[in-house]
Structure 1
Amino acid sequence: MLTKEETVLVLIDIQGKLAQIVDESEIVIDSISKVVQGAQALQLPILWLEQYPKGLGPTVEEIAQHLTDIKPIEKITFSAYDTPEFVDQLEATGRKKVLLAGIETHICVYQTAAHLLTNGYEVEVLADCVTSRTAGNREVGVQKMLQLGAKLTSVEMALFEMQQIAKGDTFKTISGLVK
């Protein structure tokens, strides 16, 4: 099970025009915005990646507006794990459970998941927070991650799993986000 003490949220490349043209773009961006706010309420560390921002542009405003207290990690590799700054920040959290969100499912999200799994991390892919330019590529990416040992979850399922109790301010915040 996911616990707020052991989990880190990783956001991959939700940027520029690509984020606007992927399959179910609005739904995925809204879901990622919710999971970011929920992760903050649960006090999870968030690692935020951008693929070559000079070329692809910045993270979409709907998500970036909630990340004002952290800096994105710039990468040019498909797998975040091939970027030393990401590995250093991930190791510094001391956490071994990774919630993955981002685009594109079959490229950067998949390759990051594969490397995380190979390096001893537990990976849960937020099904409502990953997408690709086509639904078919999204599905192939999800299936390959599952074959490698990743698990599938959703924003609501993950947040309530880590919250564990149906009372208090954090519960109210999460309930408000997922309604």
Structure 2
Amino acid sequence: MNIEQTAVVLIDVQGKLATIMNDSEHTVNNIEKLVKGAKVLDLPVLWLEQYPKGLGPTVPSIAAELGEQKPIEKVTFSAWKTDEFKNALIALNRKNILICGIEAHICVYQTAKDLNNAGFNVEVVTDAIDSRNEANKQLAIQRLMQDRIALTSVETALFELVEVASGDRFKQISKIVK
């Protein structure tokens, strides 16, 4: 991962769904950290919502971090199968993708698998994904590993991208992850 070639994909962290996740508070908190870190590092964030009319909008604390940006609506489980997302990702011209969101065993897994198969270097941020139960999250992680998709954490990804323990970006990232 490097700053010039990396983008973040944020999947379906929406009100009704987000509140019933196994470890909702922890997951939302880590996604907020990842999005804040992406802003510090000037990484683009592609933000998705699964059928927002039924599942509601993105959790307000995360949506607030994304400012005026608008989410991409989808009904496909894999974001890659939604043309608006596919076109937006291709237009970014970035090959490294950090994925976070819910649910780990459905939309996160299918998106990661499809992006990997499309030639992207995918890393799933395991402390920023969740499912309604821990068993399904663990199943997703096992399947990702079987598919040879890299796993990371919020801190690992952000410090890998910042590269050095000095400078303003390092200080800002350090504050975010603490």
* TM class by smaller structure: over 0.9
Aligned pairs (5 A) from 1:86-97: 86-97=85-96
The reply to whether residue 68 of structure 1 matches residue 67 of structure 2 is yes
Q: What are the within-5 Å matches in structure 2 for residues 110-125 of structure 1?
A: 110-125=109-124
**Residue 86 of structure 2 aligns to which amino acid in structure 1?**
V
Report what 2:175 is aligned to: 176
CA distance in 1, matches of 2:167, 2:117: 37
1:86-130 per-residue CA deviation (whole Å, 9 max, x = no partner) reads: 000100111111100000000000110111011001110101000
Q: Give a deviation string over 1:23-67, Cα, whole Å, max 9, x none.
A: 110000000000000001000010000001011000001211101
CA-atom RMSD in angstroms: 0.7
Q: What letter corresponds to residue 131 of structure 2 in structure 1?
A: S
Tell me what 1:51 maps to.
Answer: 50
Partner of 1:108: 107
In the TM superposition, residue 69 of structure 1 has moved relative to its aligned partner by 3.1
Runs of 4+ in 1 over 4 A off after TM superposition: none
AA of the residue aligned to 1:49: L
Instruction: Report the equivalent of 1:146.
Output: 145
Q: TM-score, normalised by structure 2?
A: 0.98
Render the CA deviation track for 1:110-158: whole Å, top value 9, x for unaligned. 1101110110011101010001000000000111112112111000010
Distance across 2 between alignment mates of 1:68 and 1:55 = 23
Q: Under a length normalisation based on structure 1, what TM-score does the superposition of the two structures give?
A: 0.98
**1:31 lines up with 2:30 in the alignment:** yes
Count of residue pairs brought into register by the alignment: 178
CA distance, structure 1, for counterparts of residue 152 and residue 33 of structure 2: 14
Which AA in structure 1 matches 2:83?
A: P
Alignment of 1:7 onto 2:6 = yes
CA distance in 2, matches of 1:89, 1:145: 24
